[in-house]
A and B are shown apart, each in its own frame.
Chain A
Amino acid sequence: MKKQRSNIVEFGSELNSLTSARFDIDEYISFSNRVKNSGIPSMEFNYKIDISQDHVTDYQSDHDPTNTAFSVYSKDSSISKFIDLVHIFDERLSNSGFPESFFTIKEIDFDYYVNIAINVSLEDDFVLGELSNTERLYQEMATDFSVDALFRFFSKAISTNYGNIQFMISIANFLSTFSYDDAKKSGVDVLLTSLLPHKNDSVIEFVIRIFDNWHSSESLEILNNVKLSSQWLNIYLSSVIESIKSEKLCSS
């Protein structure tokens, strides 16, 4: 998935919103050193830094200034305090040499996006090869969120709207477009297994499709231990398992 040329700092809360500060960096900078030099005491904000861009494994040794994203999470559950944290963080980073123009702060309202997605999904058919309206919506969100934040959105969406069939299918339909590596890094592969026992067969059909698209032998561990109630779904699942196994045999 293409990323915009910007570094995205996101302050995620366990509540309803994801707050993000987006800033552009024209050259690679050692982020953690700047943070240290800026004097922000890590204990005060209780944050951890994750590198959410998949090809940046060690940002000190592998840098790509056009495509690096950082995520900062806090366990603080108060969104207003979050905004304060963002502003303080903002100010401290400004004082350490980032130009002010680097910062824009945007609050992403989880409930707002969920409601839009639910409404849009009502009219979708989810046909193979056709771009659904929810897919267009999630693609737009993907230009604003980092991949990691988007997966966190889906994670929360699934756990709070499990019974909404169209919405669940829309998420499964969109997640089938991601690579297995991206999904695995964010734990989405495990998240999707939560949809396998869904009482709606169409939801399960689309989840199996995701594993079919990924075609990863690593997912066999999950797939081989799933039992479904519908005969046709079990046949579909078996055919996907056999297909993955035969590809694994060919490549070994």
Chain B
Amino acid sequence: MFFIRKLEKPAAIIRIKASSSVENIDSDVLHAEFGSKDNSLSFWTAQEITEIEEVAFAIALSVSKVDKLRFVVFNDESFDKTEIVTRKTVGKTGYRKYQNNHIDFINLNYERIGKLLGLYKSTKDPFESGEYELSKDRIEQKIRSLNTDELDFQGMNDDLLIKVKSIRKEK
């Protein structure tokens, strides 16, 4: 199983991996990428490597605009070593099939965030770079290709919904 989370800034992973150590990761990165709510961070799961792209699309349909996105990805073996507790929650996404692929990392604290940072810094499985990306064109292509019953329009952000409808009108 793999864990996936959208990156907030374009070069987040690069910046983390370029740091000489976890302790030297810039605080701006911590602020941007690890801004928790109720000591929780939102992640998504993919059972197989072949499912990663589909889950990434689900995340792309959970945001407010169609844009090139980057994701951090790591496997459950690496994650288990962090001993971070997780809780399954329903994900708010317009891609119906993957609404149950959402998971929260909960009870986060300084130590656990540090372990997560270490995971971000070292992750190479399944992608050597530690990240996955979806181009804007690819996302638009996917939006056009999905059948209406595969989409949950009510699960979409209002701004995204307008854009999705506009993209689908073009097909």
Give residues in A with beta carbon < 8 Å to B: 125-131, 135, 176-177, 202, 205-206, 208-209, 212-213, 215, 231-233, 235-236, 239
A-B contact count (CB 8 A): 63
Establish whether residues A208 and B67, one from each chain, have CB atoms under 8 Å apart when the complex forms: no
A130, A135, A208, A215: which contacts B11 (Cβ < 8 A)? Answer: A208
Establish whether residues A236 and B9, one from each chain, have CB atoms under 8 Å apart when the complex forms: no
CA distance A232 to B60 in the complex (A): 26
Q: Closest 10 A-B residue pairs measured CB to CB?
A: A129-B63, A232-B18, A236-B11, A209-B10, A232-B15, A131-B64, A127-B8, A131-B65, A236-B14, A131-B159
Take A128-B70, A131-B159, A232-B18 as given contacts and tell me if A212 and B10 are in contact as well, using a CB distance cutoff of 8 Å.
yes
Contacts of A209 in B (CB 8 A): 10-11, 68
Establish whether residues A202 and B28, one from each chain, have CB atoms under 8 Å apart when the complex forms: yes
- Prevailing SS type, chain B contact patch: loop
* Cβ-closest chain A residue relative to B11: A236
- Prevailing SS type, chain A contact patch: helix
- Asked whether any CB of chain A lies closer than 8 Å to the CB of B22, the reply is no
Establish whether residues B14 and A235, one from each chain, have CB atoms under 8 Å apart when the complex forms: yes
CA distance A28 to B12 in the complex (A): 50
B9, B14, B28: which contacts A128 (Cβ < 8 A)? Answer: B9
Establish whether residues B60 and A129, one from each chain, have CB atoms under 8 Å apart when the complex forms: yes
- Known A212-B10, A213-B68; 9 more pairs at CB < 8 Å: A127-B8, A128-B6, A130-B65, A131-B65, A208-B10, A209-B10, A232-B14, A236-B11, A236-B14
Contacts of B108 in A (CB 8 A): none
Establish whether residues B70 and A205, one from each chain, have CB atoms under 8 Å apart when the complex forms: no
Establish whether residues B67 and A128, one from each chain, have CB atoms under 8 Å apart when the complex forms: yes
Report 15 cross-chain contacts, Cβ distance below 8 Å, ordered by A residue: A127-B8, A127-B9, A128-B69, A129-B64, A129-B67, A130-B65, A131-B65, A176-B67, A206-B10, A208-B11, A209-B11, A213-B68, A233-B11, A236-B14, A239-B14
- Asked whether any CB of chain A lies closer than 8 Å to the CB of B7, the reply is yes
- Asked whether any CB of chain A lies closer than 8 Å to the CB of B136, the reply is yes
Contacts of A176 in B (CB 8 A): 67
Contacts of A206 in B (CB 8 A): 10
* Cβ-closest chain B residue relative to A235: B14
Contacts of B14 in A (CB 8 A): 232, 235-236, 239
B77 smallest CB distance to A (angstroms):
26
